[in-house]
Chain A
Amino acid sequence: MSGILVITEQSGGAWHRVSQEALGAGLELGRALGVAVRACVYGSGASVAAAELAAYPVEQVIALESPLLEAYTADGAALALEWLVREEQPEVVVMPHTYQVRDYASRLATRLGRALLADATGFRVEDGAAVFQRQLFQGKLTGDFVFETPGPNFVSVQAGSFRAPEAGAAAAAVETRTPELDAARIRQTPEAPFREADRAVDLTAAERIVAVGRGIREEGNLALAQELAEALGAELGASRPICDNGWLPMERQVGSSGQTVAPKLYVAVGISGAIQHLVGMKGSGCIVAINKDADAPIFEAADYGIAGDLFDVVPALTEALKKARG
Chain B
Amino acid sequence: MKILVALKQVPARDSLLRIGAGGCWLDEADLSYEINEPDAYALEAALRLKEQQGGEVVVLTAGPERVSSSIREALAKGADRAIHIEAEGLEGWDALGLGRLLAAAAAAEKPDLVLTGLQSDDAGSGQTGVALAELLDLPHATIVMAVEAAEGGVRVKRELEGGWFQHVSMPLPAVLTIQSGINKLRYATLMGIKRAKTKEVKRVTAAELGVAAAPGLRLKRLYQPQRVKQTQFLAGTPAEQAAALVEKLRFEARVL
Contacts and interface: CB of A to CB of B under 8 A. Distances in A.
Nearest to B163: A195
B192 interface: no
B224 A188 contact: no
Contacts, number: 256
Interface of B: 11, 14, 17, 19, 94-97, 99, 118, 121-127, 130-131, 133-135, 139-143, 159-171, 174, 180-181, 215-229, 231-234, 238-239, 241-243, 245-246, 248-250, 253, 255-256
Nearest to B255: A265
B222 A143 contact: yes
Contacts of A98: 161
Given A191-B167, A320-B239, A143 B255 contact: no
Given A99-B161, A102-B143, A301-B229, A136 B241 contact: no
A145 B161 contact: no
B134 A110 contact: yes
A304 B233 CA distance: 6
Interface string A302-326: 1111111100110111011100100
Chain A, interface residues (CB within 8 Å), range: 35 or more
- Is chain B's interface secondary structure helix, strand, loop, or mixed overall? mixed
Given A135-B124, A145-B219, A305 B231 contact: yes
Contact of B245 (A105, A135, A260, A306): A306
A285 B255 contact: yes
A36 B198 CA distance: 61
Nearest to A322: B246
Interface of A: 73-75, 78, 98-99, 102-107, 109-111, 113-119, 131, 135-149, 153, 187-196, 208, 232, 240-241, 243-245, 250, 256-260, 264-265, 285-286, 288-289, 293-295, 297, 299-309, 312-313, 315-317, 319-321, 324
B165 A193 contact: yes
Given A191-B166, A191-B167, A319-B242, A142 B126 contact: no
B134 to A, nearest CB: 4
Given A141-B17, A306-B233, 15 more contacts: A99-B160, A105-B130, A107-B134, A116-B95, A136-B222, A137-B124, A143-B221, A145-B220, A148-B218, A194-B164, A195-B165, A208-B255, A286-B255, A317-B246, A321-B246
Contacts of B143: 99, 102-103
19 contacts: A74-B142, A99-B143, A99-B160, A102-B142, A106-B95, A110-B99, A113-B96, A115-B97, A142-B226, A143-B222, A191-B166, A191-B169, A193-B160, A257-B162, A264-B255, A303-B231, A317-B241, A317-B245, A317-B246
A308 B245 CA distance: 13
A142 B94 CA distance: 16
